[in-house]
Amino acid sequence: MAKTILILGACGQIGTELTLALRQMHGNEKVVASDIREGGSELMESGPFELLDATDYNALEEAVMHYEVEEIYLMAAMLSATSEKFPSRAWNLNMNTLFNVLNLAKEGKIEKLFWPSSIAVFGPNTPKEQTPQSTVMEPSTVYGISKQSGERWCWYYNRKYGVDVRSIRYPGLISWKTQPGGGTTDYAVEIYHEALAHNRYTCFLKADSRLPMMYMDDAIRATIDLMKSDGEQLSIRSSYNLGAMSFSPADIAKSIQKHLPDFQMNYEPDFRQEIADSWPSSIDDSQAREDWGWEPEFDLDKTTETMLAHLREQMAK
């Protein structure tokens, strides 16, 4: 009998695509989407949905018992740029939801859980090039502090209570299906929309701000592959480094100009520049490759081609 999976934060940028991918794999009825608000029509119409506040332990436990949930993907979070505006709200959301799912697993009410970390765990004193799996971590943002703390709690619950928790440090993510949710790397999604709509874009980061990035299909595949992996093979129970490509705003502009030669890029850095400056430029993900066979499929030019093609289709409807 197929296991039942619960996605918390299913209406967000990652959650939407993860829910649809898991429904395709396991069957619609076996993947329960939940969030504090309803999502898009494809998500809502393809399987069960629960209005659920992941900070409410009792409501969460009730949903787990009702649907006989075995696995949880906790995708609910306040992202980097938004967290800087609402520090205490970000901390409460990002940490309390994690404790809720860790405690459900500790009590034997679920068997396995996924929790996303981020390159935001690193800070200005971290080596910027090929950032190692284990290194100096002194995050300078609210989001990064919550993610670093969360990683240590994941490791602790695994070591102390045997909780099967798995995690990835996501780089910036690029998708055409859902709108970005308040992150520092959101420019790499907005730019494609603006390129097609207006043939120009004003970027909130400097031209040479090189950051680790990933196309969403790779991120979804990595998440599912990690959860399918044999737990005995996993050497990291805090969070795995995950890499695919690194580029700057100037690089992505050049990639777009291969398809739209008249595309123009302007730069007006704002408060997000300081956040970007504290993050790595590239990631060493050799541990993920060794432990569970991680291998990205999308580089920048393939991402640009795919994004422009899908967004053109979307705009034509």
- Catalytic pick from 57, 67, 73, 143? 143
List helix spans (H) across 46-141.
Answer: 57-67, 80-85, 87-106
Q: Is 143 a catalytic residue?
A: yes
Can you read off the two tokens belonging to residue 311?
């967004």
Q: Is 63 helix (H, G, I), strand (E, B) or coil?
A: helix
Q: Which amino acid appears at position 82 of this protein?
A: T
249-257 vs 300-316: helix axis angle to the nearest 10?
60
Side-by-side strand order, sheet with 168-170: 117-118, 168-170, 240-241
Assign residue 143 a region: left if phi > 0, alpha if psi is -120 to 50, beta otherwise?
alpha
| Strands of 119-244, DSSP E | 165-166, 168-170, 172-174, 200-203, 211-215, 240-241
Catalytic residue annotation: 143
